[in-house]
């Protein structure tokens, strides 16, 4: 497939905000593509050159991309830099300068999707002495053969700023449309994706023979998209929903999916990033304590003093997510992994098995040791029993508890009432911490003028529309250090205009790329004409009242982990029921 076809589709997708239209445009591309090409199209549309768990990022700094544009077009670095400063989009700079290039290379050829993908992948994996000059040369050679529109998108890939507003749900719909003409195959495609976390491979299989995705199986070192928990406000409602269930401690740490085959161990985050080198003590613990030859386990790791039984706060645990100084921090804050599920063992897929059986097998597979333990929990059948265990968890410094349906399978990648959270804030205080995506910030005034930072505009994820909706303007909860950290991080991802994926009625002083997630608490949820969360027609949306940041940038979470519009509406409904029952 010619890359010009994909670039033309991207151009149209960039000009529309409707998910259906985006899916249709992308679906036409998939319909014309060979299965192997479709795989590459999926990765490119995700802004990647491999599934996320492989950890391969194209990543080039702006200065190196500017240099490549200069080499390919004959403009000076200063001219490229000035144009970028004016537009805020190096893609548009490349488009303009390629259209008006001062020079052309001696040799150029029509670009294919395969060639663009292969060059970008080569850029991603090139390392060592002289690697930057090699990357600049490779990108410049692509630009030399590119049309203006092709150049715009080629330049945006290594900057991770494709600006299409297309998420995985839209890609899944597009794949269904390519074969069925509608979204009827969405659930089947989504199920396959949830089990293997590689949408490119799913696309290749589906477009080769739709029956192939029904054969997607759990396999070691291909992470499973994590199951998600629902919310209910009381022990009574949880028991009414589940009946007799297991209630487990809810730990505030790193959610980990650990894969083992022989002596090889890999650790993946809830965002499916490979984190193995960061946690050598967990790797060694798995090797010693897991009896199965092959296994996939899920749990929560946090700094823990086994001698005193003390759980350290998340602020200490988060310091362990680093690429450098790993050994020193592992000695200072050793992590303990509390395993709460078994997904696979020695050829058997346990995701289809009832939770009670999974837990029973987990106890057989996991040996006693100092680094890995099975998560605390007990079976309950009465609200008073659940309440008692909940109080015990809080006394130990934990977040709360999660109740689990004894009969339910593991529901990969979905939020179901198989798991239900209960935290302190649900118990009549009409507030709960939520994870919000930062989409802009406000400049500081008065005492905050020196920080040039006055607050944040944040959004939640609308899963039905695959878009972000504003829900809060946050002006409190920041320390001086956090204000500096936020300003520094956000200035690197500033945008000249509203993010493509965002619906907003309010406007901050500075828009930013929707990249970072923070944790926020609030007094309650109210109806608001100013925010787009849950807004329908002329009806007002929903907003957080008196929001304040309780955890700064969550390096363990991405936009796809943000609280959803659905959750906000459920919390609003629960809040009203609690308020009514307290009258």
- The pair phi, psi for residue 145, each rounded to 5°, is -95, 0
> Which has the closest alpha carbon to 118: 58, 61, 164, 66?
58
- What was the pLDDT predicted at 10? 97
- What was the pLDDT predicted at 353? 96
- Does this chain's domain 48-159 share its CATH topology with 434-581? no
- What was the pLDDT predicted at 583? 44
- What was the pLDDT predicted at 431? 47
Each residue's pLDDT, cut to its tens digit, for the chain (583 residues) gives 999 999 999 999 999 988 899 999 999 999 999 999 999 999 999 999 999 899 898 889 999 999 999 999 999 999 999 999 998 899 999 999 999 988 765 556 899 999 999 999 999 999 888 899 999 999 999 999 999 999 999 999 999 889 898 999 999 999 999 999 999 999 999 999 999 999 999 999 999 999 999 989 999 999 999 999 988 888 999 999 999 999 999 998 889 999 999 999 999 998 888 999 999 999 999 999 999 999 999 999 998 777 777 787 777 777 787 877 888 888 888 899 999 999 999 999 999 999 999 999 999 999 999 899 999 899 999 999 999 999 998 888 888 899 999 999 999 998 889 999 987 654 444 446 899 999 999 998 776 777 789 999 999 999 889 999 999 999 999 988 899 999 999 999 999 899 999 999 999 999 999 999 999 989 889 999 999 999 999 999 999 998 999 888 988 888 888 999 999 998 898 877 665 444 4
- What was the pLDDT predicted at 315? 74
Q: Is there a catalytic annotation at residue 250?
A: yes
C-alpha span between 303 and 316 (Å, rounded): 7
Q: Which CATH architecture has domain 48-159?
A: Orthogonal Bundle (1.10)
C-alpha span between 211 and 30 (Å, rounded): 17
Other Cβ atoms within 10 Å of 421 Cβ, number: 18
Domain 434-581 has CATH 2.60.40.1940: no
Using an 8 Å Cβ cutoff, are 380 and 247 in contact? Answer: yes
Give the helix/strand (H/E) hosting 457.
strand 455-462
Where would I find the H helices in 160-302? Answer: 168-180, 186-196, 199-208, 235-242, 280-289
Fold of 228-426: D-amino Acid Aminotransferase; Chain A, domain 1 (3.30.470)
- What was the pLDDT predicted at 406? 97
Per domain, the residue ranges of the chain are 48-159, 228-426, 434-581
Give the predicted TM-score (pTM) of the model. 0.86
Catalytic residue among 96, 135, 250, 271: 250
- Residue 488 CB partners (closer than 8 Å, separation 6+): none
């Amino acid at each position: 497939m010619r890359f010009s076809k994909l670039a033309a589709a991207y151009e149209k997708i960039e000009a529309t905000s409707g998910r259906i239209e985006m899916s249709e445009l992308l679906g036409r591309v998939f319909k014309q593509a060979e299965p192997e090409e479709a795989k590459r199209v999926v990765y490119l549309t995700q802004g990647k050159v491999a599934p996320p768990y492989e950890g391969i990022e194209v990543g080039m700094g702006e200065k190196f991309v500017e240099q490549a544009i200069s080499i390919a077009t004959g403009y000076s670095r200063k001219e490229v830099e000035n144009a970028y400063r004016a537009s805020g989009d190096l893609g548009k700079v490349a488009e303009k300068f390629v259209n008006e290039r001062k020079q052309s290379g001696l040799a150029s050829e029509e670009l294919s999707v395969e060639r663009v993908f292969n060059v970008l992948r080569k850029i991603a994996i090139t390392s060592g002495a002289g690697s930057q000059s090699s990357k600049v040369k490779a990108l410049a050679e692509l630009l030399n053969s590119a049309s203006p529109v092709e150049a715009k998108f080629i330049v945006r890939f290594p900057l991770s700023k494709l600006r299409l507003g297309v998420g995985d749900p839209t890609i899944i719909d597009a794949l269904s449309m390519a074969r069925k003409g509608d979204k009827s195959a969405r659930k089947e495609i989504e199920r396959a994706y949830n089990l293997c976390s590689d949408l490119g491979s799913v696309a290749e299989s589906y477009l080769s023979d739709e029956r192939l995705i029904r054969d997607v199986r759990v396999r070691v070192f291909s992470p499973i998209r994590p199951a998600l928990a629902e919310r209910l406000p009381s022990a009574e409602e949880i028991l009414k929903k589940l009946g007799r269930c297991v209630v487990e401690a809810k730990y505030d740490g790193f959610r980990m999916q650990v894969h083992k085959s022989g002596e090889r161990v890999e650790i993946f985050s809830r965002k499916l990033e490979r984190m193995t080198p960061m946690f050598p003590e967990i790797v060694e613990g798995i090797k010693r304590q897991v009896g199965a030859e092959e296994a996939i386990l899920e749990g929560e790791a946090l700094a823990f003093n086994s001698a005193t039984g003390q759980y350290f706060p998340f602020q200490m645990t988060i310091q362990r997510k680093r690429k450098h100084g790993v050994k020193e921090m592992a000695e200072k804050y050793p992590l303990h992994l509390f395993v709460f599920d078994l997904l696979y063992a020695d050829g058997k897929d346990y995701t289809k098995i009832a939770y009670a059986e999974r837990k029973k097998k987990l106890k057989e597979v996991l040996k006693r040791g100092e680094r890995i333990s099975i998560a605390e929990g007990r079976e309950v059948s009465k609200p008073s029993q659940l309440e008692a265990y909940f109080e015990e968890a809080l006394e130990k410094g934990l977040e709360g508890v999660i109740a689990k349906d004894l009969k339910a399978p593991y529901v990969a990648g979905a939020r179901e009432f198989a798991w239900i959270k209960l935290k302190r804030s649900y118990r009549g205080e009409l507030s709960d911490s939520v994870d919000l995506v930062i989409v802009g910030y406000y400049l500081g005034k008065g005492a905050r003028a020196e920080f040039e930072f006055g607050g944040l505009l944040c959004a939640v994820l609308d899963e039905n529309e695959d878009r972000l909706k504003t829900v809060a303007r946050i002006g409190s909860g920041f320390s001086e250090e956090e204000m500096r950290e936020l300003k520094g991080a956000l200035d690197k991802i500033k945008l000249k205009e509203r993010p493509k994926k965002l619906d907003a009625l309010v406007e901050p002083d500075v828009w930013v790329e929707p990249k970072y997630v923070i944790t926020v608490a609030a007094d309650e949820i109210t109806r608001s004409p100013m925010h787009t969360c849950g807004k329908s027609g002329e009806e007002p949306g929903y907003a957080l009242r008196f929001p304040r940041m309780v955890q700064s940038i969550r390096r363990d979470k991405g936009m796809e982990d943000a609280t959803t519009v659905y959750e906000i509406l459920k919390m609003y409904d629960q809040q009203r029921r609690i308020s009514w029952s307290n009258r």
